[in-house]
Chains A and B, each alone.
Chain A
C-alpha cells in the first residue's frame, strides 16, 4: 500500500486535529456565552504574544519535555510508565536534599549535582516496578500507578514531619541557598542583547531538557542499547532469540525513564519555587503521557508537543485571569486537544490517507 508523504503525516494531521479541537472548543465557549474569537486571541497573545508569555509557555513546556521523554523511552520498550508523577516527586526530593545539604559554590555545579540527585532518585523509584515486571511479571501499569500514591505519601510525610522548617506551616522545605538559584532566561539572554521578561519562570532547565531530547534521540537510534530497546519493544520473543536479555532491557529502560521524569524537578523545584513544595509536579507526570503519544515517542515530536501543551497551560491561565470562563472549562479545552491529537488520530488519518492514495492514482 502506498503511504502518504512524510510532511502530511508530521505536519498536516496534527494541524487538522488541532483545528478540529479548536473548532469544538469554540462551540463550547460560545455555549457558555463568551466570545470564542476573543478567547483565542487572548490565549495566543497571552501565551506567545510577549516574552512574558513565552517565559511561562516554555516553563511549562520544560516540564512536559522531561516527562514526555520519560514516557517515550519506556514506550519504545513497549512499557507504559504511568509513574512519571511519582518519579518526578522523588526527583524533587533528590533536588531538595542535594541543594539543601551540600554547600554549592556556583549554580553550574549545583545544576549538575541536583540533576544527578533528581535522576538517581527518580530512577530508583522506577527500579522497583521495573524489577517486579521483569522478574515477577507484575504489570508495570498497575505497579507504577501504585507507586505514585506511595511517592505522594512519602513526600507528604517528609515535608510535614522532617524537612519543614519548624517555624513554617507550609508543608515545604526551607528555601535553597542563593548559590543554587538557576538563572532565568532573562538572566541568560540579557548579556546577548536580547531583552526577556524578568518575571517569567523559564530558566536554564529548558536547555537541559533540550539536551535530554538529543540524548534520547542518540540513545534510541544511535546506540546498541537503543537498538535492543526497540527490538524488545517490537517483539519480546524475537529479541530473546537474538540474545537480548529481557530483564536487563526492562530494568534499564525503566531506569532511564524514571531518571528523565525525576529531572523535571530541576525546572520546578530548583528553577521556579527554589524549595521543595508538596504539589511540585503539577500533574506533569500524566501530561507527559499525552505529550509522548502526540509526539509519536520521537524526541523532536515530544519537544513540539510540549510547547503546544505549554501554550495551552499558559493561554488557559490568561483566560482564567481575564474572563469568567471557569477553570473546569479550560481543562475541557485542553482535554479536547488531547482527545483529537491522541485518541482520535485515526479519524483524521484514515480519510487523509485515502485522499493521498487517490491523488497518487490520478497522477499515475
Chain B
C-alpha cells in the first residue's frame, strides 16, 4: 500500500514537473530519427536556432512506433506544450483525432494538410525547387544524361522527381533522365551503400549529374559522385559543403524555417494553410563558395529567370501529387 502511495506520489510529481514549464513548444520527429542529416535534422536545426536565440527550451521526442504518434501528441498537449510541431506527413491521421481534443493547443504539421481550426499546415513546393535544380543539371551535363535517386518510393519523392525532369527537359528537350528509387521500405531513407551502388549504375548509363532526394541515403550518392568525378545535387539542407567543387547545388527545403517560424509565433501561431515556395524562401537552390566555380553566370541567370517566371505564374511546374502522374519521363 505504501509502495502504491509512493508510486502515485512519484507520478503526480512527474506530471506536475512536466506541467510546470508552461507553454514550452514541442517538436516531434518522425521515425527516421533526429540526426538523419536531412529532413528531421533540419527541423531540429530550426528548433535549436530558436532555442539559442531566445534562451528558451523546448520538448522533443523521437518516435519508435506508429502508436506513439497519437500518444506523443496527447502527452505533450496535456503537459501544456504549445505549439506542438510535427515533422512529417505521417502524423496527419493522428493529428486529425487529437486536434479536436485540445482546442486551445496550436499544432503545426509539416508536409501535409490537416484542416482544423487550431492547426497550421506547412507544405513545400518541392516540385518548383526541383525544377530549378533540374535546369541546372541539364545545363551542367555534357552527356545530356542526368540522374535522379529517390529514397523510399512514395508520392512525395515522385513529386521531387517529376519537377526535376520537367526542369531538365525545359533546358534540353532531348535530355535523358535516369530515375531510381532506393527502396520500398523506410530503410531506404538511410542506406548510403545502396545510394552509392545506384550512383555507379547511373554513371555507367551515362549520367554525369545526379540529384539525390533520399535522406541519409544521399550521403552515399554525393560521396560516390565526388569519387567518380561527376557532379551531384544535394537536398533539403545546403549540402554543397560536403564535397566542395563536386556538388553542383542543393535543392533547399527550409524545414528549419518552418519550425523556427512556428516556435517564434508561439501560442499565437497563425493557423491555416502555409505554402513554403520559391517566393517566400521555402524552397530554392543553394549558392555558396563551394559551388561558385561550378555555376556559370549564364546558368544562374537562366535559373533565376525561371524562378521569377514560376513566381509570376508564367511557368507552371506540374505537381505530381495533384493527379499522381507526371507528364514527362
Per the 8 Å Cβ criterion, residues 42-94 of B in contact with A are 59, 61-62, 64-68, 70-72, 74-76, 89-90, 92-93
**The 3 residue pairs across chains A and B that have the minimum distance between CB atoms:** A156-B184, A45-B11, A327-B62
Residues of B within 8 A of A49 (CB): 7-8, 11
Known: A275-B93, A322-B14. A160 touches B65 (CB 8 A): no
Known: A152-B185, A199-B74, A321-B72. A170 touches B90 (CB 8 A): yes
Residues of B within 8 A of A320 (CB): 61-62, 64
In the docked arrangement, what's the CA distance between A275 and B94, Å? Answer: 12
A49-B7, A160-B154, A171-B154 given; name 5 further pairs at CB < 8 Å: A41-B14, A49-B8, A170-B92, A277-B66, A278-B185
Residues of A within 8 A of B7 (CB): 41, 44-45, 49
- Answer whether residue A13 sits at the interface, using C-beta atoms and an 8 A cutoff: no
- Answer whether residue A138 sits at the interface, using C-beta atoms and an 8 A cutoff: no
In the docked arrangement, what's the CA distance between A266 and B64, Å? Answer: 20
- Answer whether residue A175 sits at the interface, using C-beta atoms and an 8 A cutoff: yes
In the docked arrangement, what's the CA distance between A175 and B186, Å? Answer: 22
- Answer whether residue A68 sits at the interface, using C-beta atoms and an 8 A cutoff: no
Chain A residue at minimum C-beta to C-beta distance from B101: A199
- Answer whether residue B287 sits at the interface, using C-beta atoms and an 8 A cutoff: no
- Answer whether residue B244 sits at the interface, using C-beta atoms and an 8 A cutoff: no
| Residue interface bits A50-64, CB-to-B below 8 A is 1, else 0 | 100000100110000
Whether the pair A279, B31 counts as a contact (CB closer than 8 A) is: yes
- Answer whether residue B155 sits at the interface, using C-beta atoms and an 8 A cutoff: yes
The smallest C-beta distance from A284 to any residue of chain B, in angstroms, reads 9
In the docked arrangement, what's the CA distance between A268 and B68, Å? Answer: 12
The smallest C-beta distance from A290 to any residue of chain B, in angstroms, reads 16
- Answer whether residue A157 sits at the interface, using C-beta atoms and an 8 A cutoff: yes
Interface SS of B by simple majority: helix
In the docked arrangement, what's the CA distance between A298 and B3, Å? Answer: 32
Q: List 28 A-B pairs, Cβ < 8 Å.
A: A41-B10, A42-B14, A44-B7, A45-B7, A45-B11, A45-B14, A56-B71, A59-B67, A60-B67, A156-B152, A156-B184, A160-B155, A169-B89, A170-B92, A175-B93, A268-B67, A272-B66, A273-B66, A275-B93, A278-B186, A283-B65, A317-B71, A320-B62, A321-B75, A322-B14, A326-B62, A327-B64, A331-B64
- Answer whether residue B321 sits at the interface, using C-beta atoms and an 8 A cutoff: yes
Chain B residue at minimum C-beta to C-beta distance from A277: B66
In the docked arrangement, what's the CA distance between A164 and B324, Å? Answer: 11
- Answer whether residue B153 sits at the interface, using C-beta atoms and an 8 A cutoff: yes
The smallest C-beta distance from A243 to any residue of chain B, in angstroms, reads 44
In the docked arrangement, what's the CA distance between A321 and B74, Å? Answer: 11
- Answer whether residue A33 sits at the interface, using C-beta atoms and an 8 A cutoff: no
In the docked arrangement, what's the CA distance between A202 and B126, Å? Answer: 39
